Structure formats: C-alpha cells, structure tokens
C-alpha cells in the first residue's frame, strides 16, 4: 500500500471514529464540560435549571450571616448561601461564635441597603437537607458571599463539584482577607 492510500484510509478511519463517538456519546465525550451534571428543580412553583439566570426576589430578613428569607414568586423562601459559612449566632445548642454577630449584621446591612436583590442557582443542588434553597445571592449586582469573604466575615466551606461556579472569585476574596488578617483571620 502506498503512502497516499494509507494516509487517506487513516483520515477516513479517524473521521468515522469521531462520528461514532459523537453519535453514541451524545456529544458528551467530546465536550469540555463532560463532568457537569445538571439537575433542574421546582422552587416556589418556578422551574430552576441551574444556569446563570438571576431571579429577582424581595429581601424579607436575615436569619444569620449566611442565611436569609426572601419573597420568591410571592412566597417566602429561606436561602442558604452556596459555598460559604459564617460564624454561628442562632444555631441551636451552639454558643454565639466570635465575629458571628458582625457577619450577621453585615449580611443584613448589605441586603437592606440594596435596591435590587437576586438569586442565582448553580447546576446541581438547589435545596439542602433542611429544605432551604441554596443559591448565590446578589445585592445590586454584587455577590454578597464574596463581599463577606473579602471582609473576613465568612470562609469557604461545603464547596462541592459541580456547584463551584464562583470558587475562583471566592478563593481570591478569602485569600485577600487572610493576607490582611481581617476579622475571623485576625487570630483574635
């Protein structure tokens, strides 16, 4: 077999393999996001897909530094912030932790002063085991959790793939707070 024929057969064979993989793998094997599983859920009567859609809500009140109550589709909804934890202030059988009151007050201040509050859900988990919505919360277009991290009033916790859309931004904000020894990172 000459080189020209061999090259032609190799090219045809490669094309056939790519087509077979694409057809039988649904394109997922060739996708750069082949490990992302999406899950939709219904929250207060609205189908949530977990894309970057921001849902307008009305802030009702803060529960603590990382949990709030909002009005979503004319119903009350408890929302826990994705990927962060703040020191405890209201957890049953747990003493109030250092910087907990400050985190709680700052969370409330940010949201009370916001003209626009929105929720964004990540690709998989929409609710936690307490039946709270888990979401990214925006106040006037800024991620509230990122602000709390930057101020040293929260830390990254419970970051689980595939729901880590803003982990790089959160990590940068937390590292800034650590480097500047802000609040929970002050050692006091």
**Residues tagged active-site:** 80, 88, 132
CA 16/CA 97 separation, integer angstroms = 62
Buried b (16+ CB within 10 A) or exposed e, 70-87: bebeeeebbbbbbbbbbb
Name which of 109, 92, 121 is nearest 147 in CA terms: 109
The radius of gyration of the chain from alpha carbons, rounded to an integer in Å, stands at 23
Tokens of 127: 């609710």
The answer to whether 101 touches 150, Cβ cutoff 8 Å, is no
CA 172/CA 4 separation, integer angstroms = 54
What lies within 8 Å, CB to CB, of 38 at 6+ separation is 49, 50, 123, 124
């Amino acid at each position: 077999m000459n080189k020209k024929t061999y090259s032609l057969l190799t090219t045809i064979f490669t094309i056939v393999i790519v087509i077979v993989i694409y057809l039988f793998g649904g394109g997922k094997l060739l996708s750069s996001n082949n490990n992302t599983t999406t899950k939709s859920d219904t929250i207060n009567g609205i189908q949530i897909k977990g894309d970057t859609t921001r849902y307008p809500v009305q802030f009702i009140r803060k529960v603590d530094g990382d949990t709030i109550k909002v009005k979503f589709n004319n119903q009350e909804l408890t929302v826990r912030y994705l990927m962060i934890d703040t020191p405890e202030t209201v957890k049953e059988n747990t003493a109030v932790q250092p910087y907990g009151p400050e985190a709680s007050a700052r969370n409330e201040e940010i949201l009370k002063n916001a003209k626009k509050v929105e929720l964004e859900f990540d690709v998989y988990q929409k609710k936690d085991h307490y039946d709270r919505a888990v979401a990214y919360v925006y106040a006037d277009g800024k991620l509230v959790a990122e602000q709390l991290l930057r101020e040293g009033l929260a830390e990254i916790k419970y970051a689980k793939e595939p729901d880590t859309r803003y982990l790089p931004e959160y990590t940068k904000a937390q590292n800034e707070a650590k480097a500047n020894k802000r609040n929970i990172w002050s050692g006091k």
